[in-house]
Structure 1
Amino acid sequence: MVISALILLAIFVGACSQRITGMGFALVSAPFLVLLLGPFPGVMVVNLCGIISSGFVLSRVWRSVEWKTCGWLVMFAVIGIIPGAWLASVVHPTALEITIGGLLIVALSISILASKFADAASPTLPNKMAAGFLSGAMNAAAGVGGPAVSVYAVATRWEQRAFAATLQPYLLVVSVLSLTGKLILEPTGWPTIPIWLWASMLGVLMAGVFVGDKLSHRVSPLTARRILIVLAYAGALATLIKGLVSLG
């Protein structure tokens, strides 16, 4: 029951953060779900919940989406999903835990450092190609597609409201493709979770989006981003340490 409660808490906080910042679900939830469920099933749950949470949030921010930019990012992400899904299906669970934890730490660090060079890039096609490819690969392998696009957003000074809105259909499509790719490569990898827990996860997911919607009008974007980064770093480090300990 303790593990189930922690899983539900991770999903709730992730959904809440997703509504506030636009990309919080995977950053916050992925490290903990991977830690609690294991690398492969944990990422699959992240992908599935990410699809649902992005759909909920999209219904609230539909009018602010920049569909052309979203289309370019999705196109390049599809290419990145292929090696990412393959990596998730063939790498040993311990190695994958280390890889996922490391990828999350690197991605978060890059997101922070990129803010110091916000005028160093422009929204060119090559930059969109790099952001989409890396995002797709990381989403398929680690369930986290937001950081790579976040780096692009910071570097190109993408307006926060438009970025958060555009990220929802993008992450929805990429998560669907990532989940499909992993199921094709590993048909028996579907998580064995009781029906009551699936239903509970859906419930807390909806509750998280609802609470996040209320908080988004009260919490400043800067404060929300700082909280999200601290939580994500803690989860990523825990996943990385667990993998390293397993090696011994």
Structure 2
Amino acid sequence: MIDPVTLLLYAAALLVATVAQRVIGLGFGLIMGPVSVMVAGPIAAVPLNCIFATVGCVLMLPGVWRDVDWRRLAWLVLPAIPASVAGLLLARTVPADALRIAVGVVTIAGLLLSLAFTRTRHTLDGPATRITAGLAIGGLNAAVGVGAPPVGAYALVSRWTPRTMAATMQPFWVVLNLSTLAGRELLVPQGFPEWPWWAWLGASAAAALGTLLAHRIAHLVPERAARVTIVVLSLAGGAAVIASGVAGLLAAA
């Protein structure tokens, strides 16, 4: 259950997360992950984020349809779907806190290497790069609920234009979140949040409002600012995963 005051705070965070998701194509899970854990608990947080991320991205699709890179979308999403199943299985077998720390360290290292790569004039964006990125995004999103860092790393090495990236990631997250929800229902069916109808309606309205606001400001964000935001949020995501893992280990000690 959820009380009206908590729902209001959750809806406010949801509005901000939806704006970030539209403007730069990622950030929803980084913002809503900790909030959802506090509101609904760690088990229910993943399906909760998947549901409202899907709602927000579906509402954004009409406004970004013309900028979607459908070919690149296919390269990324096709490997991400089976990787999400593998991520769910991994989360069932490996201690959650140890997994979070390992994932956080790997993602931050990958981002730092990607930043170093951008100092060269090379671009890394062939089929192997896209498949690897899709596998990493799908697996990490399902295993620990943070798929943004590998998105940021891929955007850096491929020099993906922020506007096209933001548009393409909307249908990507719709497909990936729906497949994660389906896989979770089969593999980890427990933990679905038990909210009254008015809570679902209120949170969905916040996602809709965030979409309307984001469409008005997305074109005002400079490309350089979008790139910097992508890097910062991706690094923050890796650090947050490590911090949550360390906190969990200390609490269990």
TM-score (normalised: structure 1): 0.84
State the match for 2:161 in structure 1. 159
Mapping of residues 4-153 of structure 1, within 5 Å: 4-89=7-92, 95-96=95-96, 99-100=99-100, 103=103, 107=107, 110-111=110-111, 114-118=114-118, 119-153=121-155
Q: Distance in 2 between matches of 1:142 and 1:190?
A: 16
> After TM superposition, what 4+ stretches of structure 1 lie above 6 angstroms from structure 2?
none
Cα displacement (A) at 1:38: 2.3
Question: Partner letter of residue 20 of structure 1?
Answer: V
Q: Distance in 1 between matches of 2:83 and 2:131?
A: 10
Q: Distance in 2 between matches of 1:188 and 1:178?
A: 14
- 1:215-243 CA deviation, whole Å, 9 max, x = no partner? 22333344455396287578556634542
Do 1:81 and 1:178's aligned partners in 2 also have CA atoms closer than 8 Å? yes
Do 1:85 and 1:141's aligned partners in 2 also have CA atoms closer than 8 Å? yes
- 1:21-66 CA deviation, whole Å, 9 max, x = no partner? 1112122212332343222210111111111111122221101111
Mapping of residues 193-232 of structure 1, within 5 Å: 193-223=195-225, 225-226=228-229, 229=233, 232=237
Percent identity between the two aligned chains: 29
Cα displacement (A) at 1:82: 1.5
Question: Partner letter of residue 86 of structure 2?
Answer: P
TM-score (normalised: structure 2): 0.83
Q: Distance in 2 between matches of 1:23 and 1:110?
A: 17
Unaligned runs of 5+ residues in structure 2 are none
Unaligned runs of 5+ residues in structure 1 are none
Q: 1:88 to 1:189 in 2, by over 3 A?
A: farther
